[in-house]
Structure 1
Amino acid sequence: MAPKRKATWYGKRTKISRELQIVIIVGLTLKSLETFLLTVKGKKTEHIIGVVKDDNSHHFKIFMNLLFWGEGMQQISVWWDERFTRKTELFPDKISNLRGSILKACMFDVKPLIYTVKDTNGTILERHGRDIDVAQALSEIFNFTLVYVDIADEWGNLLPNGTFTGLVGFLGRDEGQMGLAYLYSTGLDDRHKHHEYSRPIDDDKTCFLARIQPPLPAWQNPSLPFQADTWIAFMIGLLLSGPIFYALVMASSAVGKEDSHYGSILSSSLCTIGIHFSHPMAVMPKRPSSQIFIAFLLIYSLILSIGYRSNLTSFLTIARTPKKIETFKDLYDSGFSIKGFQWFYNAFNHSGNFYLRKLLERYEIRDTFEEIVQDIMSGRSTTINSKALLEMTSTLMRTKKGKPLVRFLKECLSTYTVGIGFQLHSPLKPKFDRAIAMLVESGIVRKWSLQASEIYRELVEKEGGVTYYKDDWYASTDGVIPLGLSHMQGIFAVFSLGYILSTIAFAVEVLSC
């Protein structure tokens, strides 16, 4: 195949210049020219000009390859007397209009990104997915007929002889012109030596998906308005205020008699405990020292009470969630297992991240995504996959009210581009790339992605394949929130504890008599 060069020629009125990939062959016969067309270079060169000398004259017949327009060579002119006998275009554009040529595109289901709808007999009725829509758009732009070839073994595996099975092998053996299977650009196993990638139609990342954890138990709510050090200080004040008040009462008795109501340490302690919990005093102390102590105790208790009550309202009405897992380190520290496919296990094994390699100890390989979904919804597992695939799948993991039950971790494994596969050195790629770029820039490819996701969800719902999960722990945020038993269970627990302690105290009194 000749290298690319600038081809320039002059017509009667216009000058045309473009980048061309040209092969000019001088052959003995037309058959020898057509033999060259059977080679790899012959099949993938857009412009091939053949020259054959006429046996009975000094004329030279000029032939042109048809590429996708047909088979063999077509005579377009004759060179005689240092000129062409017929005015013709030697290098017509054979890609912009493929004249209804049949192009094969291999594919397989990558649910929910690419999928087929079949009847009970297994006959394919419809095909959906962003890549399918892009290929259909290309068929309209370039006027070709698209024929789908369903393949097994998905993207394919490297064989000992250096070839591939699946989609990579399909394109590598030139059995079709395009590959549609959410094909991400990678040099894994030297796949780029077997086929080419189109311009990106999307970019994606490999991310972790985990279930949104339910709120922490509501019975803890009454203890949450204060931090631990505040509670410790409160308990010290509660326990010491009674004895201190009793000591002041006893000391004041030397100057003037204090009310007998506070003549014991028990009665003094009950009085100060009551003040802590906003209970009014039955009898005011008589001595100034006691009155000053009680006055400041009242101020102290009032501020604590107001702070506790106002903060308690927030904790009763707003659900508290556990600390979110956002990084690889958080995931490792959480003890969660990882459920995923074999490919990502291999990626972890070659990763330079310490925590990802350590997570291999908890990585469990699964064969189907349905198994992975069940593991995630158990609440103690995560999975890793394409973010686009997980975003679409996550629409099936929600409550009846449409609230999400899963979330992405902020730290992702890798970023890559996604495109369509072509044969190596395919003459289609340059112009198809420009068309794909226009489709992406217009925003219609993103629209097709959203449509494919919605259609897939509707199909799964129609087949009864959507499992809705309980949303009891979701609190409504519309209007005023009435406090239910789930909000107040903590104080009922305290009340029950009081019953139990009073019963124990009664039993001790009876036994001590």
Structure 2
Amino acid sequence: MQPDGTATGVVGMVLRDEINVAMAHMAITKTRAMAADFTHLYYQDTITIISQAPTIKNRTFAVFSPFQSMVWGLIILSILSLGLILRVLSNLTEYCLEQESIGTLQAVTFNIFRSVINQGNQISVALWSHRCVFFAWYSFCLIVYALYSGTLIAVLAIPPYEKPVDSLTDLPRAVKHEGYTLGTSRLSMMEFLFKYATEGIYKDTWALFNHKDRDQSFVQGDLAYKLVLERDKFLYISPSLRAKTEAMRYGIERFHIGRDTFSSMWIGYACAIGAPFKDEFNRLILRMIQAGLIIKWKEDELMKMKKARPDKTPPMERPIKLIYLQAAFYMLFLGYIISTFVFLLEKIQFGICKTKSAQLKGKAAELH
């Protein structure tokens, strides 16, 4: 209904006596009841949120996902600090107990790193003070390695998806922080439900629509489901049954339908005011409801649509793909590059040392 008393859509056609009855998936509202006589409700629907199917998160650095960045930092710090601790302990035992050193700081630290990645330790120690330190370190490595391996298997076996929007409480996060646009059908029950809300989550949701450019949020209902696929990050508030049927029509695997529903919708037929056939319609509708025909017909139609366009959702991934191991190969290539760079530095250093050695030998020869 418009402020001037006119009505749009099929209800307007009933009001203008262009048709006698509107048989559509139409919610019974207070304003619509002013323009037409509605039959007994024959179906109760709800409202939900439909969006594009969530995508898989970037897996480039999946091999690092088992631990938080702080944990990785503490592991690196533990390797460096233990290398320093063992070197200091080696110096003390060499000075106090006259024992042979266990190696340079670089060699000790590198062997500590080998233990972390389960490559063994090539340092041989004879003193129990050293063995106690290594015992604690090996226990630490065992726990870290077990937790890392188990968590990584779980991460790679079940691909993580971007967090979907399932309820009205998810909308502020999606719109304000993730760049989604919230939409619904123009001049529909859904729009008025939020527009005239005076408090609570419905009022908060109304503020999330794009009121500066209304065409971005309030769209024509027939095109809305296509827009969900075409627009980037578009959320559409829709009747649940319509969302399910349209998703099946375009491909159910391409959509995500919110798990939570809200605000019941009572569906009925709109008849011309004073229509003589309304009572007969009511009698037939009640008989169909009592026989369970409405629900059966709905389920039959949904099954037909499902068979006509089977779900093309890819099966659960079993083999580990290259995308999950990109970081491992990046680290390998980075190691090659760093190794080449260090080799060039060593070559330069060797050349300088060789030149200095030759100069010293020349001076020594001149003195003799």
Does TM-score exceed 0.5, indicating one fold?
Answer: yes
For 1:503, the equivalent position in structure 2 comes to 340
For 2:247, the equivalent position in structure 1 comes to 394
2-structure distance, mates of 1:258, 1:315: 47
For 1:234, the equivalent position in structure 2 comes to 75
The structure, 1 or 2, with the larger RCO (C-alpha pairs under 8 Å, 6+ apart) is 2
For 1:290, the equivalent position in structure 2 comes to 130
1:493 to 2:306 alignment: no
Map 1:261-300 onto structure 2 (within 5 A). 262-300=102-140
1-structure distance, mates of 2:334, 2:23: 65
1-structure distance, mates of 2:6, 2:116: 81
For 1:359, the equivalent position in structure 2 comes to 208
Change in Cα spacing, 1:270 to 1:510, as seen in structure 2 (3 Å) is: same
After TM superposition, give the deviation of residue 361 of structure 1 in Å.
2.4
Larger mean CA deviation between 244-253 and 199-208 belongs to: 199-208
- Number of aligned residue pairs: 337
2-structure distance, mates of 1:165, 1:201: 23
1-structure distance, mates of 2:117, 2:8: 77
Unaligned runs of 5+ in 1: 1-156
- Structure with greater strand share of residues: 1
Q: Say whether the 8 Å CA contact 1:328–1:355 is kept in structure 2.
A: no
Change in Cα spacing, 1:290 to 1:171, as seen in structure 2 (3 Å) is: same
- Please identify runs of 4+ aligned residues in structure 1 that moved more than 6 A: 456-459
Q: Say whether the 8 Å CA contact 1:222–1:490 is kept in structure 2.
A: yes
Spell out, residue by residue over 1:11-35, the C-alpha distance to the aligned partner (whole angstroms, 9 max, x if none): xxxxxxxxxxxxxxxxxxxxxxxxx
1-structure distance, mates of 2:320, 2:246: 35
Map 1:80-119 onto structure 2 (within 5 A). none
1:484 to 2:321 alignment: yes
Map 1:128-167 onto structure 2 (within 5 A). 158=2, 160=4, 162-164=5-7, 166-167=9-10
1:439 to 2:301 alignment: no
Change in Cα spacing, 1:323 to 1:422, as seen in structure 2 (3 Å) is: same
Q: Say whether the 8 Å CA contact 1:195–1:424 is kept in structure 2.
A: yes
Spell out, residue by residue over 1:95-124, the C-alpha distance to the aligned partner (whole angstroms, 9 max, x if none): xxxxxxxxxxxxxxxxxxxxxxxxxxxxxx
Structure ID, larger Rg:
1
For 1:208, the equivalent position in structure 2 comes to 49
Q: State the one-letter code of the partner of 2:37.
A: E
SS at 2:73 equivalent: helix
Spell out, residue by residue over 1:282-306, the C-alpha distance to the aligned partner (whole angstroms, 9 max, x if none): 2411222112211221121122112
Question: Among the aligned pairs, what percent are the same residue?
Answer: 18
- Structure with greater helix share of residues: 2
For 2:63, the equivalent position in structure 1 comes to 222
Q: Say whether the 8 Å CA contact 2:52–2:254 is kept in structure 1.
A: yes
For 1:311, the equivalent position in structure 2 comes to 151
1:417 to 2:266 alignment: yes
Spell out, residue by residue over 1:464-506, the C-alpha distance to the aligned partner (whole angstroms, 9 max, x if none): xx9x98x6xx4526xxx22221332232222233223323333
1-structure distance, mates of 2:143, 2:7: 75
Change in Cα spacing, 1:491 to 1:443, as seen in structure 2 (3 Å) is: farther
Unaligned runs of 5+ in 2: 353-368
1:330 to 2:170 alignment: yes
Larger mean CA deviation between 367-376 and 201-210 belongs to: 367-376
